[in-house]
């Protein structure tokens, strides 16, 4: 049985917690929050032990009617591995300040930099490379989508060159106050965007260049992928 802690119970952490809770060979030790918001209530409703990040007010959670099992430090003591779903950049600080010092293994979300974590991972493409690693970064949703699509093409016909234009939603669905309004914004304004180099952290041999723009929607991202293959491709090949 693997004891799993979730540090950060937001858009990503709540999905990971649900997945861990459904596994026969895993135990969800608990989830960590900084504020007693609606997500903390959801965790309590599902019966997930609720821990409070150091520096946050335990009293504010209890005043909101939420039972607190302890601090994040207490949670980590009970875990074999932590999934860090904290905001971008916080995970890298946690790695240096907490996880390495306590000896706990950790998995990070794609907002962290590859260089800070040391290994990037996509189950479909490079599963074997993550075996034995103490710290692994699961790449972002856009990088994951590109890796899955291009890996299938590479297996079928070989990739000679890839050029991608990503049309990205301005924000996640709940972030209605964020993002461009009635505008299309290059993000970044240079080529390549971070997505191509990020794909290369998983599959370093691919010749891939990406650019991206933000558009005023929170619904989805769209990938426009142009691939030059090494071998003829047909419907039978696929």
Residue 132 falls inside a structural domain: no
Same domain for 145 and 94, yes or no, is no
What is the set of active-site residues?
A: 141
Mean pLDDT across the chain: 93
Give the pLDDT band of residue 216 (cuts 50, 70, 90): confident
Instruction: For the chain, give percent helix, strand, coil, nearest 5.
Output: 35, 25, 40
Residue 117 falls inside a structural domain: no
Same domain for 209 and 159, yes or no, is yes
> How many Å apart are CA 238 and CA 235, to the nearest integer?
5
Q: What is the pLDDT of residues 83-137, one digit of tens each?
A: 999 999 999 999 999 999 999 999 999 999 999 999 999 999 999 999 999 999 9
Same domain for 100 and 147, yes or no, is no
Q: What predicted TM-score, i.e. pTM, was given to this entire model?
A: 0.89
Same domain for 81 and 166, yes or no, is no
Q: What is the pLDDT of residues 27-61, one digit of tens each?
A: 999 999 999 999 999 999 999 999 999 888 899 99
Residue 196 falls inside a structural domain: yes
CA angle, 113 then 117 then 118, to 5°: 105
> How many Å apart are CA 142 and CA 145, to the nearest integer?
5
Token duo for residue 96: 């240096």
For helices 13-21 and 38-45, what crossing angle results, to 10°? 0
Domain count, the chain: 2
> How many Å apart are CA 158 and CA 150, to the nearest integer?
9
- What's the domain range around 178? 141-229
Same domain for 150 and 94, yes or no, is no
Number of Cβ within a 10 Å radius of residue 175: 12
């Amino acid at each position: 049985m693997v004891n799993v802690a979730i540090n950060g119970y937001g858009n990503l952490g709540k999905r990971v917690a649900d997945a861990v809770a459904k596994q026969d060979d895993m135990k969800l030790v608990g989830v960590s929050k900084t504020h007693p918001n609606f997500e903390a209530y959801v965790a309590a409703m599902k019966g997930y032990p609720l821990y409070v990040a150091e520096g946050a007010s335990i009293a504010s959670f209890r005043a909101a009617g939420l039972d607190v099992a302890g601090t994040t430090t207490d949670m980590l003591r009970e875990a074999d591995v932590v999934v860090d779903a904290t905001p971008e950049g916080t995970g890298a600080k946690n790695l240096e300040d907490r996880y390495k010092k306590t000896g706990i293994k950790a998995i990070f979300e794609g907002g962290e930099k590859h260089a800070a974590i040391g290994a990037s991972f996509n189950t479909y493409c490079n599963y074997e490379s993550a075996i034995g690693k103490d710290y692994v970064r699961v790449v972002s949703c856009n990088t994951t989508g590109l890796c899955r699509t291009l890996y299938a093409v590479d297996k079928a016909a070989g990739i000679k060159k890839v050029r991608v234009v990503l049309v990205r939603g301005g924000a996640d669905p709940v972030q209605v106050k964020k993002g461009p309004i009635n505008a299309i914004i290059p993000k970044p304004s240079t080529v390549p965007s971070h997505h191509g180099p990020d794909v290369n952290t998983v599959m370093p041999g691919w010749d891939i260049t990406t650019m991206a723009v933000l558009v005023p929607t929170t619904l989805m991202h769209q990938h426009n992928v142009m691939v030059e293959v090494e071998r003829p491709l047909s419907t039978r090949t696929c």
